[in-house]
Amino acid sequence: MIAQKLFGTTKNGRDVTAYTLTGAGGLVMEVLDWGGRVNRIVYPDGKDVVIGFDSTAGWEDGDPYYGCLIGRYANRIANGKFSLDGKDYVLACNNFPAGIGCALHGSDGGWHDRIWKAEPFEKGTDVGLVLSLVSPDGEGGFPGEVAVKVTYTLTAGNVWRVDYEAESNAATPFAMTQHVYFNFKGEAGGTVEDHELAVCASSYAPCDAGQIPRKIAPVAATPFDFTAPHLVGERIDADDEVLKFGKGYDHCWVIDGAGFRKAAELKGAGKKLEVWTSEPAVQIYTGNWIPDGYPAKGADKLSCRCGIALETGKIPDAPNNPAFPNAILRPGERFSSTTEFRFA
């Protein structure tokens, strides 16, 4: 079942529509056409397990990325600069870890702030939403016109599948992700430090003070080793230089294997989530910069580390590091990628 309503209006006068998808397995999702935001995921027991807001002001006044689709390039590009096919490009620096500028999540042309064309569908026991847009050449400083389509599907087995497709008429850096934050106790349930996390990755990309990764290294003997399950908070404040750069976890793990495979598993409050993906990596962020007391849905209050984001995609700053997996989309190519969030 799919229902839709006017959610609100942005500060610059754009109407935002909310689509409520009710799956045959009992899971319910609320999705906005503004940035493809996932504002609610409600378990059959009635527990809403993601961070969201009751109005557009929540995103506009605070962190704009809760639950959003991120593009044209998810994560950071060092110094807001890259070179491609002999030409230099400059993006606006909109993030300054340790005072060091970078372009984050698409810079000033981020797709989280676009109104996407939304087409709901029902197919058998599946319900979903097809979100599409065209990003013009030069948007955010990136080359090429990109046509992108993202399909959200909610299955009878309580799987939320995200299918990404894109084409460009010029070579361009391209990396998308979904930036939903989970807390199985509810968004106002306190920190996620008591959630148990496992990551199918024997290596990660340690970063510098500007949160830019420079290499790929083993997770063994570091606080980044989640090859066996650990509580999120067990080592989050360990005396580790790389960990301190992020004020906690805000780092990229390189997923073992290839093809569509399991990336991570999260447990808490009697609930479990498996993340499967065809992407090479997953950025895990534990909400270290979420301010205490920020208003959430239903007059609830957020707290630091009240959510965990499991962002499948490419390695940050890959356009500037040829040692990392390719993150350039070229004319004639069709980008295709799938991530599944399997709830239990």
Q: If you average pLDDT over residues 237-252, what whole number do you get?
A: 90
Radius of gyration over alpha carbons of the chain, in Å? 19
pLDDT at residue 61 greater than cutoff 90: no
List active site positions. 179, 311
Q: How many domains does the chain have?
A: 1
Mean pLDDT score across all residues of the chain: 95
Model pLDDT, residue 284: 98
E strand residue ranges, 33-190: 38-42, 69-70, 76-78, 81-84, 87-90, 102-104, 117-123, 126-135, 146-154, 159-168, 172-173, 177-178, 181-182
Low-confidence winner among 18-22, 52-56, 134-138, 153-157 (lowest mean pLDDT): 52-56
303 pLDDT more than 80: yes
Pick from 49-58, 79-88, 156-165, 328-337: least confident: 49-58
The answer, yes or no, to whether residue 130 has pLDDT greater than 90, is: yes
What pLDDT is stored for residue 100 in this prediction?
95
Domain containing residue 130: 2-343
Provide the pLDDT for residue 244: 85
| CATH number of the domain that residue 70 is part of | 2.70.98.10
Q: What is the pTM of this model?
A: 0.96
